[in-house]
Each structure stands twice: as structure tokens, then as C-alpha cells.
């Protein structure tokens, strides 16, 4: 048994079976043994790879979107360029290379990184340092400067803990994690009925699971609140669905393979699919006038992925051109990340949502 498994066992022994979100939070963010706290999980040697780690084209197009949004918002200055969960700092480095092409933007901008992992903070400082870019780290959104903000969150929301509820007969009950006689963590169902923290849409079959993340709700509420107060725009990119729905999407990934969620606590990445319709409804309720959504593939293609890939590949040897085409296929192809990943854009003022469809979630 690992030290973290022992800690979780003690929590269960003293409190009884724990909500799924409590288990996930301990696994990912325990201050000493948490998955993200103890390592750099990215890349081929790690557990998973993200779009910015596959190709610079991803960050360049995100950077172009943010720069265009800044211009459409009337060049607010000063402005914070904020990334939530920046991993190795690769995405922000690619964004910054685009930002620097507009002197007024670069001069108005300060980089702020919301990151809890000491290992990854170091990595981010190193990556951005190579470009001569300075950044300030934050544990959460509350310490960001009270300025206009442009933000991006790629594969960040999926790492925020969710709770699960299951329908049996007419009753919804919360799924909890306990500890059985054989010394293993197990899923169980609370006997008591639970009030659902978000609406269920349409007919739901018996046994269906509904996921809800209080941490994601607070995050999007705080983002919308800060945009409304100080102005700005941003993008949330992640795997998930544009339509509301049910299903158990909690998964563990280790060394690029699926693993058991309840085994090896703290040694595997735990994620869930993001419910973009729910995030959009919160942003809408918070009064965001511009909201748009799309699949990652459509978004990148509409922003000119193929043209930019062509420019990047021009005058390069054929093996490099082939590598660029393969990267394009991975980040935008239907069979790879293009369909599975979705993009949600929002802004504090009515500006064009380039590459995104508006009206998707209008009631």
C-alpha cells in the first residue's frame, strides 16, 4: 500500500465512504503525495500527451484567437494573459510568440499562470524563460490582478474533481468510495436520496450516472465574474460533450494506457469528460454576452490550421513536412482529437467568436 492509499484509507475509516470528488482531489492534489504535485506527467515518457505538446500550431492558433479578441475588445491595457494549468508551459510559449508580433499587445500584457504543482511551476518558468518572458504564479484565480484578462485552459477542467450520482428506480443517490474487507477501495451507493446539483435532460435509463463538479462550477463562475468586472475573453478546451448527458466518464490513465480508477491512488492521472453545455449555462447565467462552442477540429480548421501548416512546412525537408501533416491529423482529425475535444469561448462584450458557433445553447 502506498502512503497516499493509507491516508485515504484513514479518511474513510474516520468519515465513512467519501464522495468521488474527495477521492480524486486526494489522488491528484494531496500536498505531499498528489499525482500532479509529485511529477511532470506529460509527454511520451509520461502518462499522457496534450495538443500543445504535439504541435506548435495549436498554441499559435489559440494565440491568434486571443490577440484578435483583445483587438475586438478595444485594446484594453493593462491586460493579463492567464493560463489555467499550464503543464510544461509549452502552450503559453507558443501563444507568447504570437503575442510578441503585436508590440502594443505585448507591452500591455503580463503573463499569469494558475498552477498548484511545484514540479510543473519550475518547468513553466524554464520554458518561458527561454523566450525572455516573465510570469507570475497563482494557486487560484482569486489573486489575479484586477485587470482585463485573456485566458486559456487546455486539459485543465477535466482534472477538477467530480461527484457522481446514480439513478435506481425513481431515486438518485450519490456514489461513494469505501474500503472493503480485502483491503481495496470500492464504489458504493449512498442509501439516502440525493438532490441533484444540476438538471438532467431527457429520459434517463435506470442505473444511469450523472456527474457534477463543484470545482468546475466555481472555476467558471469566477472566470465569468472576473470577465464581467474587468472585461476580457477566453477559451476552455477539453474532452467532453457540447450536449448535456449522463454517463460514467471517470478514467485513470497511466503510461498512455487506461488503468483502474481505484488502483494505485496518486500514481495515475484521473480525469472526466467536461459537460460544456453545463459550463455554458453558468456563463450565460453570469451574463456573458458572447458565448460560442465547437469541436476542436472545426475550431482549428476555421482558424486556418491547414494554411498555417503549409507555411510552416514550406521549404522544409519531406520528413519534416510529413511530421507536420501527422501532427495536424492528431490535433484536428476526426479519429484523433478533432471530434473528442471541444472548445468553449466566452467574452465580456459582444465580439465575434471566431471559429466557434454561437447560439448552440440558447434556450
Q: Which residues bind ligand SAH (CB under 6 A)?
A: 29, 36, 42, 50, 52-53, 85-87, 91, 114-117, 120, 154-156, 159
Q: Of 340, 228, 338, 242, nearest to 289 (Cα)?
A: 228
Q: Of 90, 81, 141, 140, nearest to 112 (Cα)?
A: 81
Nearer to ligand SAH, 45 or 203 (CB): 45
Q: Of 91, 109, 68, nearest to 156 (Cα)?
A: 91
In whole angstroms, the minimum distance from the beta carbon of 333 to ligand SAH comes to 18
In whole angstroms, the minimum distance from the beta carbon of 219 to ligand SAH comes to 8
In whole angstroms, the minimum distance from the beta carbon of 120 to ligand SAH comes to 5
Alpha helices in 77-141 (DSSP H): 90-99, 103-108, 118-129
Report which residue's Cβ sits closest to ligand SAH: 85
Nearer to ligand SAH, 29 or 295 (CB): 29
Nearer to ligand SAH, 95 or 120 (CB): 120
Nearer to ligand SAH, 73 or 84 (CB): 84
Q: Is the dihedral of CA 322, 323, 328, 334 positive or negative?
A: positive
In whole angstroms, the minimum distance from the beta carbon of 211 to ligand SAH comes to 17
Q: Exposed/middle/buried for 35, CB within 10 Å: 0-12, 13-18, 19+?
A: buried
For the chain, the 3-state helix, strand and coil shares in percent, each to the nearest 5, are 40, 25, 35
Per-residue burial over 321-341, b if 16 or more Cβ lie within 10 Å, else e, is beebeebbebbbeeebbbebb
Nearer to ligand SAH, 29 or 213 (CB): 29
Nearer to ligand SAH, 53 or 267 (CB): 53
149 contact partners, CB below 8 Å, separation of at least 6: 79, 80, 81, 82, 226, 227, 230, 231, 232, 234
d(CA 76, CA 275): 31
Nearer to ligand SAH, 76 or 161 (CB): 161
Q: Of 56, 27, 62, 58, nearest to 41 (Cα)?
A: 27
Amino acid at each position: 500500500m502506498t502512503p497516499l492509499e493509507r491516508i485515504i484509507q484513514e479518511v474513510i475509516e474516520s468519515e465513512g465512504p467519501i464522495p468521488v470528488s474527495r477521492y480524486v482531489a486526494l489522488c491528484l492534489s494531496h500536498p505531499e503525495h498528489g499525482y500532479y504535485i509529485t511529477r511532470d506527467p506529460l509527454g511520451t515518457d509520461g502518462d499522457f500527451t496534450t495538443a500543445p505538446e504535439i504541435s506548435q500550431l495549436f498554441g499559435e492558433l489559440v494565440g491568434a484567437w486571443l490577440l484578435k479578441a483583445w483587438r475586438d475588445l478595444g485594446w484594453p491595457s493593462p491586460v493579463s494573459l492567464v493560463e489555467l494549468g499550464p503543464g510544461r508551459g509549452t502552450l503559453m510559449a507558443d501563444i507568447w510568440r504570437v503575442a510578441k508580433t503585436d508590440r502594443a499587445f505585448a507591452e500591455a500584457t503580463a503573463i499569469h499562470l494558475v498552477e498548484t504543482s511545484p514540479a510543473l511551476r519550475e518547468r513553466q518558468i524554464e520554458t518561458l524563460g527561454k523566450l525572455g518572458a516573465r510570469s507570475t504564479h497563482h494557486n487560484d484565480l482569486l489573486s489575479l490582478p484586477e485587470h482585463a484578462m485573456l485566458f486559456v485552459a487546455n486539459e485543465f477542467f477535466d482534472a477538477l474533481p467530480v461527484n457522481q450520482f446514480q439513478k435506481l428506480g425513481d431515486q438518485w443517490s450519490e456514489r461513494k468510495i469505501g474500503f472493503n474487507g480485502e483491503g481495496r477501495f470500492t464504489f458504493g451507493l449512498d442509501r439516502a436520496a440525493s438532490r441533484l446539483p444540476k438538471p438532467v435532460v431527457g429520459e434517463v435509463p435506470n442505473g444511469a450516472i450523472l456527474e457534477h463538479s463543484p470545482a468546475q462550477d466555481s472555476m467558471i463562475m469566477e472566470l465569468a465574474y472576473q470577465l464581467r468586472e474587468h472585461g476580457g475573453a477566453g477559451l476552455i478546451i477539453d474532452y467532453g460533450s457540447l450536449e448535456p448527458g449522463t454517463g460514467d466518464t471517470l478514467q485513470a490513465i497511466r503510461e498512455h494506457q487506461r488503468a483502474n480508477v481505484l488502483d494505485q491512488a496518486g500514481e495515475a492521472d484521473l480525469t472526466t469528460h467536461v459537460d460544456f453545455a453545463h459550463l455554458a449555462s453558468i456563463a450565460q447565467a453570469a451574463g456573458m454576452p458572447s458565448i460560442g462552442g465547437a469541436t476542436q477540429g472545426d475550431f482549428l480548421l476555421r482558424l486556418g490550421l491547414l494554411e498555417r501548416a503549409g507555411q510552416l512546412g514550406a521549404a522544409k525537408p519531406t520528413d519534416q513536412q510529413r511530421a507536420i501533416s501527422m501532427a495536424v491529423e492528431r490535433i484536428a482529425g476526426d479519429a484523433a482529437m478533432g471530434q473528442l475535444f471541444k472548445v468553449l469561448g466566452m467574452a465580456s462584450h459582444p465580439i465575434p467568436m471566431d471559429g466557434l458557433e454561437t447560439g448552440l445553447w440558447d434556450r
